[in-house]
């Protein structure tokens, strides 16, 4: 990758990290415990519990992605960034722009 592409990628990763951090904060607010004192029906309570589980799964996924993005941000300017860990070929820059946390090319993924 050229230096210009790396700078563009770094900017994109920083923006992704910022968006994910805000998204995780919103998701954490949505996963507050469901109080049994609320006067909602049994079906509504079950639906709320199910929705909470879905939101918690989404939050775990977002946290894993955020962690991987932070790691990739530290590696962007190091030698070997953008090289597939399996076949040692260069990863397509378009793939890295879409998924900067990728450490494998499309073929190996």
Q: 10-residue block means of pLDDT along the chain (109 residues)?
A: 86 93 89 64 74 89 93 88 91 89 89
Report pTM. Answer: 0.75
Beta bridge partners of 3: none
Tell me the H-state helices in the chain: 3-30, 42-75, 93-98
pLDDT at residue 6, as a whole number: 87
pLDDT at residue 61, as a whole number: 94
69 and 17 in contact (C-beta within 8 Å)? yes
13 and 76 in contact (C-beta within 8 Å)? yes
């Amino acid at each position: 990758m050229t230096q210009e592409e790396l700078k563009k990628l770094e900017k994109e990763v920083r923006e992704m990290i910022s968006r994910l951090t805000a998204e995780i904060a919103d998701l954490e607010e949505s996963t507050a415990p469901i109080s049994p004192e609320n006067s909602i029906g049994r079906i509504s309570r079950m639906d709320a519990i199910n929705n909470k589980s879905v939101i918690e799964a989404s939050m775990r996924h977002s946290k894993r992605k955020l962690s991987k993005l932070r790691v990739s941000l530290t590696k962007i300017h190091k030698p070997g960034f953008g090289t597939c860990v399996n076949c040692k070929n260069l990863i397509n820059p378009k793939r890295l722009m879409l998924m900067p946390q990728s450490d494998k090319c499309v073929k190996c993924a």
